[in-house]
Amino acid sequence: MADSLRNGCVGRQIVMENVRARIWRARLEPNERMAFHCHTLDYCWIALSDGVLQSRHASGRTDRYELVDGTVYFQRVPKDEPHVRDLENVGNAALGFMVVEFLDSANPPLPVPNHVRLR
């Protein structure tokens, strides 16, 4: 779990980044899971398809989301209270979503590897 605190990859690929925001995209096939990662920045995520997503948190809590295409979720991350979680598609259809991280948040952004940036 300690490595998760350094994993700033909150999506699969960064499609846009500037001084104010970082925009990620991700897609999960049925039963596919995205590893534990750490949110240090305020963010919103946008469902790009209907489906069912499950998220396990480092605290042990589990959330289940019934996604509807176009729904936007917002999450504030308080100073020094990172959110560590995974994501799993527990539905029968592929799930697509975008994550927008706001770089002017209470915490600094985590570094991300260059290979996740769209070239």
Number of structural domains found in the chain:
1
In a domain, 24, yes or no: yes
Pairing relationship of beta strands 42-47 and 72-75 according to DSSP bridges: antiparallel
Within a domain: residue 99? yes
Residue 118 belongs to some domain of the structure: no
CATH number at residue 58: 2.60.120.10
Give the mean pLDDT of the chain: 95
pLDDT at 5: 77
**Tens-place pLDDT, residues 92-108:** 999 999 999 999 999 99
Could you tell me the residue range of the domain that residue 9 belongs to? Answer: 2-108
In a domain, 119, yes or no: no
At residue 1, the pLDDT reads 54
pLDDT, one tens digit per residue, over 25-46 is 999 999 999 999 999 999 999 9
Whether 19 is covered by a domain: the verdict is yes
Inside any domain, residue 73: yes
| 113 domain-assigned | no
Confidence of residue 2 (pLDDT cuts 50, 70, 90): low
Q: Is residue 6 part of a domain?
A: yes
